[in-house]
A = this chain, B = another copy of it.
Amino acid sequence: MPRAGLDRAAVVGAGAALADEVGLAGLTMGLLADRVGVRTPSLYKHVAGQDDLIRRIAALALEEAADAVGGAVQGRAGSDALAAAARTFRAFVVEHPGRYAATIGQEPSGPDDPLAAAGVRLLDAFTAVLRGYEIEDRDADHALRMLRSLCHGFATLEAAHGFQWSTDIDASFDWLVAFADRGLRAM
């Protein structure tokens, strides 16, 4: 039997892709094994178990999100940067609902946990956006949490099809970003 040539990154990447397709709850070790062309127990040579797999998918998702948002903010400032960051984040969550769902409820185990590092990088991208507004130091953390709650809340509700009725969702998001922008500029 020829070896499949798997490694940890390949398993985690395939797991993330599968989670996006079938939902995080539908991500099963057997399904993932099929996908990568291997029997289920072989996966345990690369990840410690399902919890470990999901944790690594979460770290991957945070890294990708941080890269995307960080890249979108490059060369922009103020309202432009805010809009780019928010739209990029929302697009990432909606296009990758499974891997983003993996990030929810993960507690970083320690300071050198890659999960924590990736989370900090993502927050840093939003912090950079806020530097384009005149915000007092004592408000900075609050403003960051506001922005995060807004983006996280909207994107997760949208990904879960939580917006029922007919008003255009893109229009709502643009409205919401403009609302935040006006509020931040008025400080």
Contact = CB atoms under 8 A, between A and B. Distances in A.
A176 interface: yes
Interface in A108-165: 108, 116, 119, 139, 141-143, 145-146, 148-154, 156-157, 160-165
Contact of A172 (B141, B150, B172, B182): B141
Interface residues of A, number: 37
Contacts of A104: 156, 160, 162
A142 B171 CA distance: 8
A5 interface: no
A146 B175 contact: yes
A186 to B, nearest CB: 7
Contacts of A164: 108, 116, 119
A2 interface: no
Contacts of A157: 148-149, 152
9 contacts: A116-B164, A139-B175, A141-B167, A142-B171, A146-B176, A149-B154, A149-B157, A150-B150, A152-B153
Given A149-B176, A180-B183, 16 more contacts: A104-B162, A105-B160, A107-B161, A108-B164, A119-B164, A141-B165, A145-B167, A146-B150, A146-B175, A148-B153, A149-B149, A149-B154, A153-B154, A179-B183, A182-B183, A186-B186
